């Protein structure tokens, strides 16, 4: 465990803890609700990886854009999508953030510039390149000028994505065109059941990005402080210099790939060893050691998170099924409708 | 004013770039090379490298970047060299561009235009000659256009750019040198088929590069006393069933001409709609002239044999007429 001091003021230090707890409790309940048949389809849990979304997203500004994967409940939540809307979406209710059309894998939110919820591995990377290209080209982007900061597009993807052509094409385009993209690689060592070592000739992911002349950082993704600090460095680079930046967050998912996964491909001992480095208890222990957190305060934070989860479940339960008569809506934009 | 299909496309692109600062053109060799079919020749000098953006050979990457830029408020025109190469970008087009509005519950539209060449006729063999419009026309969430006249080459881009959803424009490679009248004053309609030749005996229903062949066949048929009507579909998704059915109700006979392969073709869809909606108006079973089901051969005589030709259309029309 990293025992160095947490260098933040107490409100922010607790904000990080609370957000990790919110994700953890929400997903633990989601797993239960999956078992109860309330949530269906694929459900990919982020449990164990919370420090990455929490540390990274708290380094972004409200007008930055986020592109995420199908393991994105935590990213959506920390970005500001309400837990109610996320839970309702997983229930398939029309109060969901994607009106029940997306489900767990396709959380979207225009208000917070949250562009999914992309369930094709690597599919979000070209999208992020394009969002950044729009920022570079658009009149508003240009008007930021020298004294104003650039908007950044943060793109999350897993280690599995580095095997896709989309990763390599996107890395090249972003570097070639000096686009403001922060590439956030969540390396949890397994692409579903295939370990990095079994699928890549080069397992140093930063070396892959560096091959495209993208600057990189490798960081302990179980340590929310390290994640946050690395992301701040990456963001500063993108805003000040304009080109992309790549961060490899070394992390681990404690749960199966999805609810269908029997986990035949990894040893329990490996999972247990990573759990010892769990982001929640290691961070709270540091805060306690530093005198920034008491056990009572921790329990209060946890209770607050659990209450929010309970309320979101009630909200989702009370939500409505979209009328079947509306089935065909949102295939095309209605005449006179608005575009992003 | 007489002009060429290529010049008409150029004029439409130039107008779009001049009229809207959000519009930019991106693709392989669109800039310094001038476009693989010379459609954007000189644009790099006129509009600069930011807006006439040469892309590396990364179809998946730059089509996806076009989607992202559209989401980010721009109005990108992405050029893919041929429909064959677009298969490398199929994931982004089908899984992202066409689905994004729906899977986001209506929050994000993708106002993207993708232009690509399609079709055979230049002895480019089995990896540069295919006609896969039908695959794209299968996908809900996108619109598919096939300009077959100089007027449509000139007039379809502006409404495609004004459309809030992804629009794919297929430019048949054999049409770039087509000469015709363009009296462009306003954007053309992109929702309806159009009758290119009126007739009373048989409807020849076609699109894209097969339109000139169907018109040629109609002239030959006229010499045989058969008065053919030629319907240009123009819009391949959503199909204008109404115009198709209206023509068949008038002529009572239909021959669908489609450069795509027969099995699972657009022609099959058009025939299905005729059978569903105008069955009792038919005096004969509908027929179709499609490409032979072979990867496009290189040798000229074999390529010609593989494709719909005026003579085959004439023969099909005569058979439908019982002559």
Q: What are B231-279's pLDDT values in tens digits?
A: 999 999 999 999 999 999 999 999 999 999 999 999 999 999 999 999 9
pLDDT at residue number A141:
47
Residues B177 and B60 occupy one common structural domain: yes
Q: Residue B119: give the domain boundaries.
A: 2-181
CA distance B9 to B6: 5
Q: Is B60 on the interface with A (CB under 8 A)?
A: yes
Domain identity same for B6 and B98: yes
Pair (B53, B85) in one structural domain: yes
CB distance from A90 to chain B under 8 Å? no
B202 and B176, same structural domain?
A: no
Q: Which of A98, A330, A340 shows the shortest C-beta gap to B71?
A: A340
Q: Which of B24, B61, B103 has the CB atom closest to A101's CB atom?
A: B103
Give the catalytic positions of B in this structure.
59, 128
Tokens of residue B6, six digits? 């290529």
Architecture of domain A10-316: 3-Layer(aba) Sandwich (3.40)
Classify strands B228-232 and B194-197 as parallel, antiparallel or unpaired: antiparallel
- CA distances to A181, A185, A221, A251 from A231, rounded to whole Å, are 12, 12, 11, 15
Domains in chain B, number:
2
Is B186 part of a structural domain of the chain? no
Q: Which chain B residues have a beta carbon less than 8 Å from that of A128? A: 68
Burial of B225 (0-12, 13-18, 19+ CB in 10 A): exposed
CA closest to A104 among chain B residues = B103
Q: Which of B127, B146, B181 represents a domain boundary (last residue)?
A: B181
Q: Are residues B266 and B122 in the same domain?
A: no
Whether residue B61 and residue A137 make contact (CB cut-off 8 A), yes or no, is no
- Do residues B309 and B198 share a domain? yes
Closest CA to A44 of A258, A190, A188: A258
CATH code of residue B173: 3.40.50.970
Specify the pLDDT at position B184: 75
- Strands across the sheet containing B202-206: B194-197, B228-232, B202-206, B254-261, B287-291
Q: Which residue in chain A is spatially nearest to B99 when comparing CA positions? A: A331
Please write the tens of the pLDDT for every residue from A262-284. Answer: 899 999 999 999 999 999 999 99
Q: Which of B181, B210, B225 marks a domain boundary?
A: B181
Collapsing DSSP to helix, strand or coil, B283 comes out as coil
CB atoms within 10 A of CB A97: 28
How far is Cα A52 from Cα A70, in angstroms, rounded to an integer? 15
Let me know if residue B187 belongs to a domain. Answer: no
Regarding whether B124 and B14 lie in a shared domain, the answer is yes
The CATH number that applies at residue B199 is 3.40.50.920
Cβ contact, residue pair B111, A330, below 8 Å: no
The interaxial angle of helices A10-35 and A224-241, nearest 10 deg, is 110
A-interface mutation test, from B64, B94, B114, B189, most A Cβ less than 10 A away: B64
Residues B148 and B24 in one domain: yes
For every one of its 340 residues, what pLDDT tens digit does chain A have, with 9 covering 90 and above? 445 889 999 999 999 999 999 999 999 999 999 999 999 999 999 999 999 999 999 999 999 999 999 999 999 999 999 999 999 999 999 999 999 999 999 999 999 999 999 999 999 999 999 999 999 997 654 444 444 568 999 999 999 999 999 999 999 999 999 999 999 999 999 999 999 999 999 999 999 999 999 999 999 999 999 999 999 999 999 999 889 999 999 999 999 988 888 899 999 999 999 999 999 999 999 999 999 999 999 999 999 999 999 999 999 999 999 999 999 999 999 976 554 4
In a domain, B43, yes or no: yes
**d(C-alpha A168, C-alpha A156), whole Å:** 15
Please give the Cα distance from A54 to A78 (Å, whole number). 6
Nearest-CB residue to B60 (from A100, A139, A169): A169
Q: What is the ipTM of this complex?
A: 0.94
Other beta carbons within 10 angstroms of residue A80's beta carbon come to 14
Is B159 contained in some domain? yes
Confidence (pLDDT) at A143: 42
Q: What is the pLDDT of residues B276-306, one digit of tens each?
A: 999 999 999 999 999 999 999 999 999 999 9
Whether residue B102 lies within 8 A of chain A, CB to CB, comes out as yes
Mutate to test the interface with A, among B48, B61, B112 (most CBs of A within 10 A): B61
Query: In chain A, which residues have their Cβ closer than 8 Å to the Cβ of B103?
Result: 98, 101-102, 106, 108, 116-117
Same-domain status, B221 and B104: no
Q: Choose from B66, B68, B94 for mutation: most chain A CBs within 10 A.
A: B68
List the one residue out of A283, A315, A231, A261 whose CA is nearest residue A61.
A231
Judge if B209 and B175 occupy the same domain. no
Q: Are residues B270 and B173 in the same domain?
A: no
pLDDT 10s digits, B180-202:
988 877 789 999 999 999 999 99
pLDDT score recorded for residue A162: 97
């Amino acid at each position: 465990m990293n025992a160095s001091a947490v260098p933040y003021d107490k409100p922010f230090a607790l904000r990080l803890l609370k957000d990790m707890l919110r994700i953890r409790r929400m997903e633990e309940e989601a797993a239960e609700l999956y078992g109860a048949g309330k949530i269906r389809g694929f459900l990919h849990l982020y449990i164990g990886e919370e420090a990455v979304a929490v540390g990274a997203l708290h380094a972004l500004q409200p007008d930055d854009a986020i592109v995420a994967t199908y393991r994105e409940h935590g990213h959506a939540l920390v970005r500001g999508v309400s837990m109610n809307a996320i839970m309702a979406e997983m229930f398939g209710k029309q109060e969901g953030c994607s009106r029940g059309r997306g489900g767990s894998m396709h959380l979207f939110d225009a208000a917070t510039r949250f562009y999914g919820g992309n369930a094709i591995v690597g599919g979000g990377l070209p999208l992020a390149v394009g969002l950044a290209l729009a920022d570079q080209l658009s009149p508003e982007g240009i008007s930021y000028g020298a004294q104003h900061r650039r908007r950044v597009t943060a793109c999350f993807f897993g280690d599995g994505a580095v095997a896709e052509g989309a990763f390599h094409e996107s890395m090249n385009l972003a570097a070639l065109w000096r686009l403001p993209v922060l590439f956030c690689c969540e390396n949890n060592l397994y692409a579903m059941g295939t370990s990095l070592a079994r699928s890549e000739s080069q397992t140093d992911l930063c070396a892959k990005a560096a091959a495209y002349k993208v600057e990189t950082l490798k960081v302990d993704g179980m340590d929310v402080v390290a994640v946050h600090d690395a992301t701040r460095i990456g963001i500063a680079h993108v805003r000040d210099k304009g080109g992309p930046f790549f961060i490899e967050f070394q992390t681990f998912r404690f749960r199966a790939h999805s609810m269908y996964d029997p986990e035949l491909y990894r040893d329990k001992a490996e999972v247990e060893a990573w759990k010892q480095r769990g982001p929640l208890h290691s961070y709270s222990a540091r805060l306690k050691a530093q005198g920034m957190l008491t056990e009572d305060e921790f329990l209060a934070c946890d209770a607050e998170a659990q209450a929010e989860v309970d309320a979101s479940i009630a909200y989702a339960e009370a939500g409505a099924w979209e009328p079947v008569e509306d089935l065909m809506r949102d295939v095309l934009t209605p005449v006179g409708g608005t575009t992003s | 004013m007489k002009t060429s299909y290529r010049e008409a496309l150029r004029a439409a692109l130039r107008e779009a770039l001049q009229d809207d600062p959000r519009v930019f053109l991106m693709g392989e060799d669109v800039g310094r090379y001038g476009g693989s079919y010379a459609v954007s020749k000189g644009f790099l000098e006129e509009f600069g490298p930011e807006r006439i953006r040469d892309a590396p050979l990364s179809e998946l990457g730059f089509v996806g970047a076009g989607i992202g830029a559209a989401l980010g408020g721009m109005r990108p025109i992405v050029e893919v060299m041929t429909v064959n190469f677009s298969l490398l970008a199929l994931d982004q087009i089908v899984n992202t561009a066409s689905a994004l509005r729906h899977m986001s519950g209506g929050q994000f539209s993708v106002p993207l235009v993708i232009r690509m060449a399609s079709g055979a006729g230049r002895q480019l063999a089995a990896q540069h000659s295919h006609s896969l419009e039908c695959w794209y026309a299968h996908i809900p969430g996108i619109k598919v256009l096939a300009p077959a006249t100089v007027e449509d080459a000139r007039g379809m881009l502006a409404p495609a750019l004004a459309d809030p959803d992804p629009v794919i424009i297929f430019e048949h490679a054999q049409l770039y040198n087509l000469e015709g009248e363009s009296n462009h004053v306003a954007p053309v309609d992109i929702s309806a088929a159009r009758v290119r030749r009126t007739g009373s005996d048989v409807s020849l229903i076609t699109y894209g590069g097969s339109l000139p062949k169907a018109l040629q066949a109609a002239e030959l048929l006229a010499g045989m006393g058969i008065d053919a009507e030629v319907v240009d579909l123009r819009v391949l998704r959503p199909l204008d069933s109404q115009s198709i059915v209206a023509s068949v109700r008038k002529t009572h006979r239909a021959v669908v001409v489609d450069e795509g392969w027969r099995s699972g073709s657009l022609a099959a869809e058009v025939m299905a709609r005729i059978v569903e909606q105008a069955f009792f108006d038919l005096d004969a079973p509908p027929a179709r002239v499609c490409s032979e089901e072979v990867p496009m051969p290189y040798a000229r005589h074999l390529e010609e044999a593989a494709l719909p030709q005026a003579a085959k259309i004439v023969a099909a029309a005569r058979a439908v007429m019982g002559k």
